[in-house]
Amino acid sequence: MKKRERFGSRFAVIAAMAGSAVGLGNIWRFPYVLGQYGGAAFILVYIAASLLVALPIFFAESVIGRRSGRDTYGAMQLLAPGTAWKWAGLLTILSPLLILSYYSVVGGWSVEFLFKSLSFTFTENASEAEVSGYFGHFISSTWQPILSHTLFMTMVAGVVLGGVKNGIERFSKVAMPLLFVLILFIVGYSLTLPGSRAGVEYLVKPDFSRLNADAYAAALGQAFFSLSLGVGTVLTYASYVKKEENLVVSGVGTAVSDLLFAMIAAFAVMPAVFAAGIEPGSGPGLVFQTLPYIFNKMSQAMPITSALVSIAFFLTILAAALTSAISMLEVGVAYLVDEKGMERRKATLLLAFGTWLLGVLCSLSFGPLAHIKLLGLSFFDFLDALCSNWLLPLGGVLFTLFVGWRMSKADVRDELTNGGTCNVRLFGLVYFLMRYLAPIGIVVVFLSNLFL
Ligand code: PFF
């Protein structure tokens, strides 16, 4: 068998893992969810959910991945041979591919909006009505969004084809620092807009009256999605981490980068939203509808800056979406390579094509297939609800139960402390969180999805 690839350095590990974590969830989803639950107070709950529940699950997945050095299915076969745990492995190969199918459609929107920014469509002589209506018009058309989805998926497959070191690691090491620079540039612009102060206040002054049970579940759900938990990406990437690497450090590094990026993105988006007088709780269209409108409005006073910021903004979304999407595809590719002995090339093309096909249906569900409903939802919304509300938490709970209750404590300690050489004092706390608080936290999300 060919020797398994490994990430080359600690920076590479964190860049790849943070690459998976930082994505549409941070720039597109976080600001509007935050807007729906009232700003600063939600941020506090979100930080607590990320550190107390999500991070321990991240550690649990890392432990399984590195201990086994295999894909999700292989890991379960190796660590719990002949048991039903293999189904957890299989489930978490399927779920990231399902997510990828609709994620790639949104990734495609960012490709389209980047092209539009590069051709100054939002910033040159377009009427306000044209710009704010563009999003609805674009996503409901037939071919254009499919074309963008195809371009996006091709880029994803291109990186995964390169392999762990030459594809994923290389791409993430460039994309991640670039993302932080770009988003800071956008924050700078956003904060100088007249009327942006109200947006900043919204983000720093907590209004606890808006926090209901729903908000807690939403915070946990968002933390899950944002850290890419429960779908085997953390597990698979951890299987490429060297034995000497400190898993706690790379986990904390990833979670902090992810949290930080979400906050910065909120400071990039919200002040601009307020400056334009738009309702912060206006939902999923927030970033794609609002931002072009703002770029258009500002272009009368600052044409060049607005055009540049518009390009930077959609490039940020695209790069962030790409680093996340490659991690979703890698889970399935690792399975086919490790377990079926398939060549990476063939595995990548096969899975990319299959998910692309499913993505086409998702894309059409905004237009020609909008009338087809599954449980009252469009195909896109159905897949998103199935994955975000059910499959992610299910995968997450299975992974923490596996590490907390099925693996021996000695093995878990060995993996998290590198044989007793680091994190020895922290271990007790981490183990407690993995064993009790994290599974209970997820069950709360499940129940709230059922009853709220
Ligand atoms: N964490 C990604 C984001 O915030 O956009 C989404 C994601 C990536 C979900 C990878 C699942 C996954 F496997």
* Mutation test residue for ligand 1: of 228, 323, 391, the one with most atoms within 8 Å of CB: 228
Task: Tell me the average pLDDT across 40-54.
Answer: 93
| CB of 225 closer than 6 angstroms to any ligand 1 atom | yes
Other CB atoms within 10 Å distance of the CB of residue 94: 17
Mean pLDDT, all residues of the chain: 92
| Residue 374 in this model has a pLDDT that exceeds 90 | yes
Q: What is the distance between the alpha carbons of residues 68 and 79, in angstroms, rounded to a whole number?
A: 7
| CB of 23 closer than 6 angstroms to any ligand 1 atom | yes
- The token duo for 434 is 């993995």
pLDDT score of 296: 85
Predicted TM-score (pTM) above 0.85 = yes
| CB of 123 closer than 6 angstroms to any ligand 1 atom | no
Q: What confidence tens digit (pLDDT) does each residue in 60-109 have?
A: 999 999 999 999 999 999 999 999 999 999 999 999 999 999 999 999 99
Write out the E strands in 175-230: none
3-state secondary structure of 377: strand
Among 29-33, 184-188, 224-228, 355-359, the range scoring the smallest mean pLDDT is 29-33
Q: What confidence tens digit (pLDDT) does each residue in 263-302 have?
A: 999 999 989 888 888 877 766 677 888 788 888 888 888 8
| Residue 14 in this model has a pLDDT that exceeds 90 | yes
| CB of 325 closer than 6 angstroms to any ligand 1 atom | no
| CB of 19 closer than 6 angstroms to any ligand 1 atom | no
Give me the percent of the chain exceeding a pLDDT of 70: 98
| Residue 384 in this model has a pLDDT that exceeds 80 | yes
Other CB atoms within 10 Å distance of the CB of residue 32: 20
Show the CA angle centred on residue 215, arms to residues 210 and 218, nearest 5°: 150
- In CATH, which superfamily holds the domain spanning 10-451? Hydantoin permease (1.10.4160.10)
Q: Where is 17: in which H helix or E strand? A: helix 10-21
- The token duo for 429 is 């706390």
